[in-house]
Amino acid sequence: LGVASAVAEEPFPVSQDHFNWKLEGLLALYDPPKKNIAEVIRQLYATKVNVKLVTGDYAPTALTIARQVGIRTSFPYQTGEEVMRMNDEELRISSANTSIYARMFPEAKLRLVKSLRASGHTVAMTGDGVNDAPALKAADIGIAMGNRGTEMAQQAADLVIADDDLAKINLAVTEGRKIYQNLRKAVRYIITIHTPIILIATLPLILGWTFPNIFTPIHIIFLELIMGPTCSIFFEKEPVADIDLSEGPRKRNSPLLMTGELLTSVIQGAVIAAGILLLYYWFMQSGKSLEETRTMVFTSLLLANIFLTFSVRSYSETIIKTLRYKNRLALPIVLISASFLALILLFPPARQLFGLSTLSAGRFGLCVVIALVSVGWFEVYKANLPVGNDPTGVILLLFPSTDFIVYTTLQQLMPFQNPSLAGTALLLTISSSSLIAFYGLIAKARNKYRWSTICGMLLVVVALLQVLLLQTAQWEQVAMAGMGTLIILIAYQLKGRWAV
């Protein structure tokens, strides 16, 4: 601003321009960017958030500020008048390459926000003035300043930064993605743990087993009381350590779970169900009572739920790494679940209420092994997960079918009239060893999609051969054929794009 002075005597000139002005000097006003704004912009770019400078200042001022704070631009700038002159398609194309907008008035800001949203972007708009209010209201997330923001801007905004520190935006982005990822984990956990409950409750009834209803309402209610707090409290406190912020924001219309993710969760639950149903069938066929069989099934399912809680904390990192995640509810959840299990098994009134029998140390160890193997196979898969996702993981779907093959073969050679812990250990050792050896062989093959299809076809053929030899179709053959068909369908559908 120019500062001038003049000395005049009455009568004063008609116009102030007629004074004999003398220039005293220039007064420069400078409103520099905040010290941390460059770091804020850098972090936003790191999280794949595109930044645009939309200001009412002249272009030279806008370009200078953009250079100082590190805003990237491949096109010089555009003005509000240019924005208003463009048609919708021209504005959509130009907004993809332009990061600096100068001499922007309220109508131009509003149109730019609407154009970006129409292009499928999620738009967050920051502002503090009255002329920012329409654009703040139109944006997906309007962010106003608390200290220097006008009342109209604050009322139009969705969020108000009380201390005007823009670093809070990065914090909000991180917390938002953390909440979203933990919500996905909780949903996938719920899908996985409910799959064995549904299968264990329905398959014996459909197949006409001796004990068709292993669960009573009290068992289902108890399982829900354990699973509800686990998903709503435990996963809520999960850290952000395994979230890759560089992946960028999700698309507006993207589903909560992709097809591969949903399928993986269902398969995890199906494997747990296969292991427990195997134990279920074994004890039932060995002449054990309903209470003894129910005790083994219920205990194995509770233990599998505990192991699953820690396994699904990450779908790419193994439990060896996720155990180092700091979640202050991890230990309490385990202790509470273990305490409930101990109360049910050791306190006679509670045991009688649940219709269970006493459980020896050997049988409890068997339940632990079944639960560990049924859940732990996925840790083997994660440990061998290639970068960029690989269809080799489909091979691990053979795990329950491998159990069926080994079990039915051994049952024909040496029927398990009196199953023992040694027999169970032999069964699990053979099936696990064959799985690991087979996986190592397939992992070296070039065309893994073709191998996955062949493995599925092999299971179906083995099931059909057993039906022809036995002249009857038992539940093992039905499950084996179903698993083989599922592998073929998955391999065909994903065509090498298997993803956790």
Q: Where are the domains of the chain?
A: 37-170, 182-494
Residues with pLDDT less than 50, the chain: 387-447, 496-500
**Predicted pLDDT of residue 490:** 64
Reported pTM:
0.68
Kindly list the distances between the CA atom of residue 288 and the CA atoms of 29, 134, 211, 282, 398, in Å, as whole numbers in the listed order.
90, 73, 10, 9, 29
**Predicted pLDDT of residue 500:** 34
323-343 pLDDT per residue, tens: 888 888 888 888 888 888 899
**Predicted pLDDT of residue 496:** 46
Architecture in CATH for domain 37-170: 3-Layer(aba) Sandwich (3.40)
**Predicted pLDDT of residue 300:** 93
Enter the tokens of residue 136: 């703040």
Of 50, 53, 75, 52, the residue nearest 62 (C-alpha): 53
**Predicted pLDDT of residue 487:** 66
